[in-house]
């Protein structure tokens, strides 16, 4: 590997970004592919870039082959992030289950009486308003955002930030009536039907969940389902 490629790879990994190392199996040439970075994609081959995006989505390395090329795509990605907005009761089992599933969990809530290490041991806490916290977290295509507060002043800014980002999952807790009111507010803020279709609400898989633990289990299962693209 050339020093230039190695340094770029280390810098990308240190910044926490996912990347694909492409190695031409015929020539040995290597370069980095960043399928979701419009400014630096690392290649002018749209088919190869698309293959790299699919590999990243599946977290699966492998060989991409055409009549004129044979390239090994080595996926280098950190853990999937789950950002939970609202340090409420359902967020407690949700943070535990998401962590157990291997996700990197952050709980966002400006109410420091709720967002405490005692209630969320071992979980990263962001005790600030959702719009500020999500801007710092730099939402990307390997992030899921879940809003669970039932309070418009907290959920709405988080949903707006998520809809303006490439996150792969957006879920919002609440009844259909609550969600209808939520969509009306988002429409007033300039969002449309295509945006609304990105929001999973009612949140979680339809398993008849009632308790906070059951709801948490349904949400984690839905995140995994969307992540693995099983509903396409």
Q: pLDDT tens digit string along 58-83?
A: 778 999 998 888 999 998 877 899 99
- Rounded to whole angstroms, how far apart are CA atoms 67 and 50? 17
All domains in the chain, ordered by first residue: 3-76 (no CATH), 81-227 (3.40.50.720)
Q: Any residues with CB less than 8 A from the CB of 67 and at least 6 apart, and which?
A: none
Average pLDDT over residues 191-202: 96
Percent of the chain with pLDDT over 70: 93
What would the mean pLDDT of 207-220 be, rounded to a whole number? 96
Residue-wise burial string across 87-115, b where 16 or more C-beta atoms lie within 10 A, e elsewhere: bbbbbbbbbbbbbebebbbbbbbbeeebb
7-29 burial code (b ≥16 CB/10 A, e <16):
ebbeebeeeebbbbbbbeeeeee
pLDDT (0 to 100) of residue 6: 77
Give the pTM: 0.78
Secondary structure letter of residue 116 according to DSSP: -
Answer for the pair 191, 170: CB distance below 8 angstroms, yes or no. no
Average pLDDT, the chain: 90
Judge contact between 103 and 126, C-beta under 8 A: no
Separation between Cα atoms, residue 80 and residue 29, nearest integer Å = 29
Residue 38 has pLDDT above 70, yes or no: no
Structure-model confidence comparison of residues 38 and 136, the more confident one: 136
Cα distances (Å, whole numbers) of residue 150 to 34, 81, 146, 153, 190: 36, 22, 12, 9, 21
């Amino acid at each position: 590997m050339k020093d230039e490629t190695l340094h770029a790879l280390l810098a990308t990994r240190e910044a926490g970004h996912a990347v694909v190392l492409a190695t031409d199996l015929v020539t040995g040439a290597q370069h980095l592919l960043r399928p979701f970075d419009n400014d630096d994609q690392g290649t002018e081959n749209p088919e190869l870039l698309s293959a790299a995006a699919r590999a990243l989505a599946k977290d699966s390395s492998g060989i991409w082959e055409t009549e004129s090329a044979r390239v090994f795509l080595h996926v280098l990605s950190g853990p999937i992030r789950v950002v939970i907005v609202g340090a409420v009761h359902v967020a407690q089992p949700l943070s535990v289950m998401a962590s157990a599933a291997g996700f990197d969990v952050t709980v966002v809530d400006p109410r420091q009486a709720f967002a405490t290490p005692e209630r969320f041991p071992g979980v990263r806490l962001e005790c600030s308003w959702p719009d500020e916290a999500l801007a710092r977290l730099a939402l990307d295509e390997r992030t899921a955002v879940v809003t669970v507060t039932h309070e418009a002043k907290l959920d709405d800014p988080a949903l707006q930030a998520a809809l303006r980002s490439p996150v792969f999952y957006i879920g919002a807790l609440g009844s259909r009536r609550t969600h209808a009111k939520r969509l009306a507010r988002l429409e007033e803020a300039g969002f449309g039907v295509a945006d609304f279709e990105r929001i999973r609400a009612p949140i979680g898989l339809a398993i008849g969940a009632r308790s906070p633990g059951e709801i948490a289990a349904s949400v984690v299962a839905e995140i995994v389902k969307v992540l693995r693209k099983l509903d396409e």
